[in-house]
Structure 1
Amino acid sequence: MFTLPETRFDFGGDEYIYAEISRDMSAESNFKALAIVNELRKRNIPGIIEIVPSNASYLVRYNPEIIPARDLLDYLKDIDITKSNPAELNLSVRMVEIPVWYDDPITREYSRRFKSRHQEPDISNFEFAMKVNGFREKEAFIEAHTRMPYLITMVGFLPGTAWGFPLGLHPQEIIQVPKYLSPRTDTPRQAVGVGGAFTVVYPVNGPGSYQLIGISAVPVYDNEKRLVDLEDTYFLARPGDIWKYRSVDEREYSRIVEEVKQGTYRYRMKYIEFSPQEYVTKGKVYIRELMEGF
């Protein structure tokens, strides 16, 4: 039977316990981190102040005057044992569509502005991502990036930034791109970037070092709460979400942007029960089954 990695625990001063499931990123390690974090929140253990999941780890902040460190560690180890079998880790998550205008003029302009910080200053970020992944045709690269969905493994950095790790692909199929040699001092809001194997949508203007391959037509952060789907939160992303990128042309991009401005846009999404066990055993086939009709 396949089991997930054993977790390593470390104390961070008097108020933190850091739990490292794996040093190598994998969807399976993130499933375990999400399941443990969800269970911790359900138990509502007195003394726990904050729980933060990451790619293949999680951090717990606690009040040592309410719960001794060793008692909390015993709780964590007990939960860890119960969450090491993928068959026990079913997750209720959302699948969310993100419409993207690939190789758009906005991110091409940012490629030009910050070319002095780039490995290959004479080509755009999009062309660089194509080149390092062996693509000669723009359409083939876009098809590869939109073919399978991305698991939101963590949220952080700029407000609402969500890291998406591709699901259902063999390592050689995953688009991977090195980051800028030196970070940009500015990135356009809603730009789509790739760094390593991760894809992000920049929620606001700010610094960044991921290669820019397109721009999202929809916000992932809405401080004005204009949209129905974001009326209870500022942020679109939740750890455990599954995002599916869809290529749109300039005309559709402009139409969606206008709907967002008017406050009438509704995100295309559906709620699913995700089985890490089926993912482990069936891989790409299971992901395609989940995507049917979406």
Structure 2
Amino acid sequence: MFNLPETHFSFGGDEYIYAEISRDMRIESNFKALAVTDELRNREIPGIIEIVPSNSSYLVRYNPDIISARDLQDYLKDIDLTKSDLTKLHFSVRIVEIPAWYDDPVSEEYSYRFRHRHPAPDLSDFEFVMKVNGFTDKEAFIQSHSETPYLITMVGFLPGTAWQFPLGLQPNEIIQSPKYNSPRTETPERGMGLGGAFNVIYPVSGPGSYQLIGRSAVSVVDPTNKLEDLKEASFLARPGDIWKYRPINETEYEKIRNEVITGKYRFKMKDIELSPLEYAEKGKQYIQELMEDY
């Protein structure tokens, strides 16, 4: 029996229940948060206003005039219990390719513009991330980062921002980095950031403290609904999906940008069934099997 961590519930004022599965980031905790919140949506319990899964927790907002806090907590405990056994969980998700220009000039420009906020002001963000992870060769770093699939564990902060956690790696294999000492006041749209073990793509220009290691050629949010694959929700990120970076050069970057701007770009995606049990049993081998022929 593969049991997931026990959840601790707490009340937030008169309208919120916060469910903490674990204090630290664990993939199995995120699987449980996704499973519980999916089931909550499916049940359509009267009085629930909003359901927000996070990296290793979830938050539920409710109307106390329709459902009491204690009754809702009982619902949550019941669902949480049914989603605590890995052998009974599976997810229908997508693998999505993200064409990425690593160490691009715009990211480098922003690195030096905000160097006074950086822990190593003499280095670009890209150089800093390479250094703290023991890389001396640029291409080796790009290969290591891009060959790792990343699980979308949470969406938030700026609309469409996806927190991505590496799959199938041991802790000593994960590329990670300290954040800025104090946040930038501006970040380029589609900038690829790394903070701790998490990756993000900034959907729009705005503040940020993650190290900039490159730039996505594709938009992760499309309020104009020009892109066929983003017409349904305008946002690319879905919790539980897997993103895979593909390194590209400047020429391909500009080609893809033109396709995105004209609405002709189609994302490379693959629908899969993700098994938390197989992930727990086989780890990296299971992820490699999922990524075959992609």
- Scaled by the length of structure 2, the TM-score of the pair is 0.99
Is 1:265 the counterpart of 2:276? The answer is no
Amino acid at match of 1:251: T
Q: For 1:137-216, what aligned pairs fall within 5 Å after superposition?
A: 137-216=137-216
C-alpha separation between the residues in 2 aligned to 1:230 and 1:80? Answer: 32
Match of 2:58 in 1: 58
Match of 1:136 in 2: 136
Cα contact 2:29–2:56 (8 A) shared by 1: yes
C-alpha separation between the residues in 2 aligned to 1:182 and 1:158? Answer: 18
Match of 1:9 in 2: 9
- Scaled by the length of structure 1, the TM-score of the pair is 0.99
Cα contact 2:2–2:87 (8 A) shared by 1: no
Structure 1 runs, 4 residues or longer, greater than 2 Å off: none
C-alpha separation between the residues in 2 aligned to 1:158 and 1:247? Answer: 25
Match of 1:251 in 2: 251
Per-residue deviation, residues 193-239 of structure 1 (Å, max 9, x unmatched): 00000000000000000000000000001111110001112211011
| Structure 1 SS opposite 2:112 | helix
| Structure 2 SS opposite 1:266 | coil
Amino acid at match of 1:245: Y
Match of 2:290 in 1: 290
| Structure 1 SS opposite 2:101 | strand
Percent sequence identity is: 70
C-alpha separation between the residues in 2 aligned to 1:17 and 1:112? Answer: 42
Is 1:38 the counterpart of 2:38? The answer is yes
Gaps of 5+ in 2: none
C-alpha separation between the residues in 2 aligned to 1:158 and 1:49? Answer: 20
C-alpha separation between the residues in 2 aligned to 1:128 and 1:261? Answer: 32
C-alpha separation between the residues in 1 aligned to 2:114 and 2:226? Answer: 32
Amino acid at match of 1:39: E
Per-residue deviation, residues 39-91 of structure 1 (Å, max 9, x unmatched): 00111111111100000000001111111111111111011111111111100
| Structure 2 SS opposite 1:289 | helix
Query: Once superposed, what is the RMSD of the aligned Cα atoms?
Result: 0.6
Gaps of 5+ in 1: none
Q: For 1:90-101, what aligned pairs fall within 5 Å after superposition?
A: 90-101=90-101
Q: For 1:228-239, what aligned pairs fall within 5 Å after superposition?
A: 228-239=228-239
Amino acid at match of 1:191: G
C-alpha separation between the residues in 2 aligned to 1:161 and 1:187? Answer: 13
Cα contact 2:21–2:57 (8 A) shared by 1: yes
How far does residue 2 in structure 1 lie from its aligned partner after superposition? 2.5
C-alpha separation between the residues in 2 aligned to 1:249 and 1:151? Answer: 25
Amino acid at match of 2:48: I
Q: For 1:61-80, what aligned pairs fall within 5 Å after superposition?
A: 61-80=61-80
Aligned length: 294
Match of 1:119 in 2: 119
